[in-house]
Amino acid sequence: MTEKRTSSATEPGIKEFVISCTYDAPRDVVWKAWTEREQLKQWWGPKSAVILNCELDFRPGGIFHYRMRFAGQDMWGKMVYREIVKPERIVWVNSFSDEKGGVTRHPLSPSWPREMLSTLTFTEKDGKTIVTVRWSPINPTEEERKTFDEGHASMKGGWTGTFDQLADYLKNKQEENL
């Protein structure tokens, strides 16, 4: 399912954002949570986010286009998949979007980079799965680069909430299967 290799290396001067989480679940279970529409819409987004619309075409060149409600505001987002290596890695371009899938600015931060290169890796160890996210802006202006570099604490909070939602989802799913 691989289209092409994409480096996660960043441009000089950009501080790549990296965060990991370990799940008490096998890699194939965690992979499916990231790659199946019905599962993604159950947990995707920061803590307390709710997915209202969700389209998934999981293949290189395909998209995940969604509308989430978070902190009382509706936001659209889009991922365009570049590389899929089952069950090891997913690479995509992430952006905020409109309901038609066009790229837009962050609704709360106009100087946020328009597009982000996202690399997600899945590593299995002792029956658990380590998910690592690497994030860097694509062709940022100097202002966007600065906003990204200064936003690492906020990104950590958002990704931690997303990881927590996935952990809760996986735990509930495991309990349902008992």
pTM given for the model: 0.89
* Residue 116 domain flag: yes
* Residue 4 domain flag: no
User: For the domain that residue 41 is a member of, what is the CATH number?
Assistant: 3.30.530.20
* Residue 81 domain flag: yes
Could you tell me the pLDDT band of residue 24, with boundaries at 50, 70 and 90? very high
pLDDT at site 11: 59
How many domains is the chain built from?
Answer: 1
* Residue 64 domain flag: yes
pLDDT, tens digit (0-9, with 9 covering 90-100), for 126-178:
999 999 999 999 999 999 999 999 999 999 999 999 999 999 999 998 888 76
Q: Are 127 and 11 in contact (CB under 8 A)?
A: no
Q: How many angstroms separate the CA atoms of 92 and 88, rounded?
A: 14
* Residue 11 domain flag: no
pLDDT, tens digit (0-9, with 9 covering 90-100), for 70-110:
888 999 999 999 999 999 999 999 999 999 999 999 988 99
* Residue 101 domain flag: yes
Average pLDDT over residues 105-121: 95
Q: Are 67 and 76 in contact (CB under 8 A)?
A: yes
pLDDT above 90 for 53: yes
pLDDT at site 10: 52
Q: What's the one-letter identity of residue 175? A: E
pLDDT at site 12: 63
Average pLDDT over residues 3-29: 74
* Residue 41 domain flag: yes
pLDDT at site 3: 28
* Residue 2 domain flag: no
pLDDT at site 89: 98
Residue in 101, 81, 102, 99 with CA at minimum distance from that of residue 91: 81
- Give the domain extent around 84: 17-176
The neighbour count for residue 40, using CB atoms within 10 Å, is 21
